[in-house]
Structure 1
Amino acid sequence: MSTLHVLSHSPFSDTRLGSCLRILSTKDALLLCGDAVYALQPQSSILKGLEEQSDTLTLFVLEEDLLARSIECPPWATCVDYPGFVELSIRYDKVNSWL
């Protein structure tokens, strides 16, 4: 069973991102939205950690939140808009929002 994990909290304020990454299976995907897109700040240790997992990590990022924070989407991740977010919610068997 595949799961879309949705994170919206800054990875610099708590440990949700790390906890999520530990339980992801190869069928799962991660969607960063809201302040979670700060994980993609250039030269951050969090971005380096994500890059190290980029071969096995399916990462989506909400484009509107990247634009609002002037952060670029790395080439190994996929930017989605709100209709794309809805499509992902349908594509995966479950959606887990890390509140």
Structure 2
Amino acid sequence: MSTLHVLSHSPFGDSRFTSCLRVLGEQDALLLCGDATYALQPGSSPFERLQAAGLNLFVLAEDLQARALDTPDWAEAINYAGFVELSIEHDKVNTWL
């Protein structure tokens, strides 16, 4: 059973980012949106953890653009239609509030 995990809060503010990475399963995917996209700042600890994790990583393109961040080669930028598609493809969606 696959789960789409959705993070929207900064990885620097609390433990949601770390907790999410800990529970990700092999068939799961992670979508970064809002301030969670700051995890893709090159050289940061969250960036290095995501890069090393080798997971199915997606990021909302407009949130990256709003924060002047680039999409790393190991992640896929999507739009809102892509978000809906990911939600349909996975058995569950877990939003980390």
TM, length-normalised to structure 1: 0.96
% same residue: 65
Q: For 1:75, what is the secondary structure of its paired residue?
A: coil
Counterpart in 1 of 2:44? 44
- Unaligned residue ranges in structure 2 (runs of 5+): none
C-alpha RMSD of the superposition: 0.6
Match of 2:83 among 82, 85, 94: 85
AA of the residue aligned to 1:85: F
CA offsets, 1:65-99, max 9 Å, x none? 00000000100111100000000010000000000
Distance (Å, rounded) in 1 between the aligned partners of 2:44 and 2:18: 14
The SS at the match of 1:59 is: strand
Residue segments in structure 1 that go unaligned for 5+ positions in a row = none
* 2:58 partner SS: strand
User: Secondary structure at 2:30's aligned position in 1?
Assistant: strand
For 2:49 and 2:88, the matched residues in 1 are separated by 28
Aligned mates of 2:11, 2:38 — CA distance in 1: 7
Aligned pair count reads: 97
